[in-house]
Amino acid sequence: MSEILKVTVERPDAMVAVLRTDGYINNAGGEEIARQAYVLMGGGVNRLLLDLEKTKIVNSIGISILIEILEKLLDSGGRLAFCRLTPTIEKTFQIMGLAQYARIFPAPEPAVSWLRGETD
Amino acid sequence: MPPGADILGAHARLAAIDPAAADELLFTHVLSALLAGAGAKRGFALDPLHPLRRAAVGIAPEEGALERLGRHVEEAGPAAVTIPAALVTALFSPERAADPRVVPLTARDETLALVVLDRPPSDPVGFASVSAHAASILAVIRMSERVSRADFELKYRVWELQSLYDVGLSIAGTLDLDSLADDILLKSISLLNARTGTLIVRTSGGDAEDAVLVKHFGVPLAGPEALDSLPEQVSRWNTRAERAAPFAEAPAEKLLLSPIVAEGRPLGLLLVADKENRAGGVDDFTVGDERIISLFGNQAAIALENARLHREAVEKERMEREIELAASIQKTILPVSLPEVAGLRLAGGNRPTRQVGGDYFDVFPLPDGRTAFCVADVAGKGVPAALLVSTLHACLRILLDLGVADLPGFVGRIHRHLLGFSSTRKFVTLFFAVFDPSSREVRYLNAGHNPGIHLSGGETTLLPSSGPPIGILPDVVHRESTISLGVGDTLVLYSDGITEAVNAEDEEFGMERLIALVKKGRNVSPRSLSGAIFGAVSEFTRGVSQYDDQTVLIARAC
């Protein structure tokens, strides 16, 4: 496990972007996600999927940054989804309120469908 | 209305701000409304609680002015209502302001914003209404932020409790120390906003005393050697100078450590480093953080204790199975009853200890009318000892069928067979004898065994060992001896479990008591003498658990 977070971005289509994280979502990790997210949002992409398959740990600062990203996405009429969370991180997101406005999916495919508006 | 001031326009701009959607442009909107309300052109505004939240219109502050302003606000605190004149001057760069004004926006003794205008408001009364309007908006936003922060704090506490609860559940549900250690380390780092962490625990007792489980997240903060000088309490080291010796060189600014202690024994440590903040820096660990790490340290201790108890239970079960197996092996080998043979009356028995040792005795009527008999004690306990007894038994059976001429040659063959065993603890003490009824002679060989007792005419003679036990030293030749066993004479063989039986005072039964019993029993049957010896040993030990099997074999000439 690494405390340094890496983010890779994939674009399944013009509307949706998938950000795959690998590492600790803390202050530095959250900032890196936010940087990539804001670049995408600046380019008009406001439907984001965060794939946390390779992230096993998140702290409260990382969560507050994710909340900021979520708020900005919602302000711009966008959507945020998460997928492949560890049970611990999913429970944490539920408790911290992230799951209230973002959707959590077990796998990327249904998440992307939801972001595209193909499913409820 | 004096020229330049647009009071209504200022109110309209403020009314357009949505407090629920406050963003980074909030102070820009507020400042622009205040400039309009004052009839000013240039200005600056900042939130003393969050100095990075600021806005400037028409000015380019001198290099370092914003940093000095930040330090001033930090020193003056969030209730600051003034800015030093020199600093105000430095803010209005490159063009100086002739008569700048600092306008604090306050509500209930709280400064919500410090605003600097390049000139006094041209309509002080109208401007007062605008600044009050702006203050009310900022007050709503600050209140909303406080509620939001309190909500986050509350959720964080729930998260903290949930994490501890989850670890507790994991402890109850698994004995996989490796995954539990990962769980505890990651949850500690996560809840303490630490950057890195290390968990080190001693995982074993018994034979593997040195086994240590080490988990690192990020750069290692300590190694197993740190367990040798653990602090007894939770320790918070917010400066390098405070640190205890094993952690002096840990690659981090600030450390927080919980020793892991179970049943008063130091078992390990949980160490996290560098509590990060939103600005990218590192905060001091607090008393509250000590509480959290201590809770996780306690959970780790419970997990380790559970694992240890489980390991002990498994080991106990394994040993009991082994004892059962060893007992069943021994049971099939030791004679249930002794044969009737010419010229001798025989009696004997074996009382195994709980661990099942390696005592062995047997009687073999030989085809030529003689009788061979022996008592042996093999090294060790449990299944290995029982298997060695089994081997000895098989050797004796096979070799006796081939006939026994000289005893050293006979025992030597068994000795060489045992030497070929790979086990390190494989030796056997053996008293082997052959009685010839026609001559009433007993030829015997004592290889490292307790001396036999020959009772004749009320007097006893000891028949000592003539060499080491068999199965140890390769080049050993034992010597045989001969005694005459007249009618009524008794030969008593036994194992050290008889003479070394101990009582509660740790006193041994000893040779003297045994010899006295043998002398006293010269007129009773061998069976009664055997019973008397076992009875006397039981009387002596009074229920104290014994380490060695107890064996007696009595042969009386008749």
Per-residue pLDDT tens digits for A35-67 = 999 999 999 999 999 999 999 999 999 999 999
Instruction: Find chain B residues with C-beta within 8 A of A64's C-beta.
Output: 152, 278
Pick left, alpha or beta for residue B517 (phi over 0 → left; psi -120 to 50 → alpha; otherwise beta).
alpha
Query: pLDDT of B301-339, one tens digit each?
Result: 888 788 778 878 888 898 888 878 877 877 788 998 999
Select the CATH number that applies to the domain covering B334-557 from these four: 3.90.1150.10, 3.60.40.10, 3.40.1260.10, 3.30.465.10. 3.60.40.10
Give the predicted TM-score (pTM) of the model.
Answer: 0.62
- How buried is residue B175: exposed, middle or buried, by Cβ count under 10 Å (0-12/13-18/19+)? middle
Q: Does domain B7-148 have CATH number 2.40.50?
A: no
Q: Given B155, B194, B218, which is nearest A95 (Cβ)? A: B155
Mean pLDDT of B268-290: 94
pLDDT at residue A94, as a whole number = 93
Confidence band for B463, pLDDT divided at 50, 70 and 90: very high
* Position B241, amino acid: A
Name the nearest CA neighbour of B391 among B365, B369, B415.
Answer: B415
Q: Supply A44's token pair.
A: 């008009």
Highest mean pLDDT among A80-84, B39-43, B80-84, B94-98: A80-84
List, for residues B123-145, the tens digit of each pLDDT value.
Answer: 999 999 999 999 999 999 999 88
Q: What ipTM does the predicted assembly reach?
A: 0.93
Confidence band of B192 (pLDDT split at 50, 70, 90): very high
Q: Mind listing the pLDDT tens digit for each residue in B35-52? A: 999 999 999 998 888 878
Judge: B189–A59 Cβ closer than 8 Å, yes or no.
yes
Q: Residues of chain A whose C-beta is under 8 A from some C-beta in B? A: 1-3, 24, 26-28, 31, 56-61, 64, 75, 88, 91-92, 95-97
Burial-class residue B474 by CB neighbours within 10 Å (0-12, 13-18, 19+): exposed
Residue B262: per-residue pLDDT: 82
pLDDT for residue B207: 46
Instruction: Give residue limits of the domains in chain B.
Output: 7-148, 173-310, 334-557
Q: Which residues of A touch B179 (CB under 8 A)?
A: none
What's the pLDDT at B206?
46
**Average pLDDT over chain B, rounded to an integer:** 89
Determine the average pLDDT of the residues in B399-408. 90
More confident residue, B179 or B276: B276
Residues belonging to chain B with any Cβ–Cβ distance to chain A shorter than 8 Å: 21, 23, 151-152, 155-156, 158-159, 162-163, 166, 183, 186-187, 189-191, 193-196, 217-219, 276-278, 280
CA B171 – CA B221 distance, rounded (Å): 25
Residues B410-419 pLDDT 10s: 999 999 888 8
Q: How far is B515 from B532, CA to CA, in rounded Å?
A: 12
pLDDT at residue B173 above 90?
A: no
pLDDT of residue B422: 52
Contact A59, B283 (CB under 8 A): no
Judged by CB atoms closer than 8 Å, whether chains meet at A26 and B158 is answered as: no
Q: What residues of chain A lie within 8 A of the CB of B151, using their CB?
A: 97
Which of A26-35, B18-27, B78-87, B112-121 is modeled with the greatest confidence? A26-35
Question: In the CATH hierarchy, which fold is given to the domain comprising B173-310?
Answer: Beta-Lactamase (3.30.450)
Count Cα neighbours of B276 within 13 Å in the Cβ-side half-sphere.
Answer: 25
Whether B334-557 and B7-148 are alike in CATH topology: the answer is no
Among A27, A56, A91, the residue with its CB nearest the CB of B276 is A27
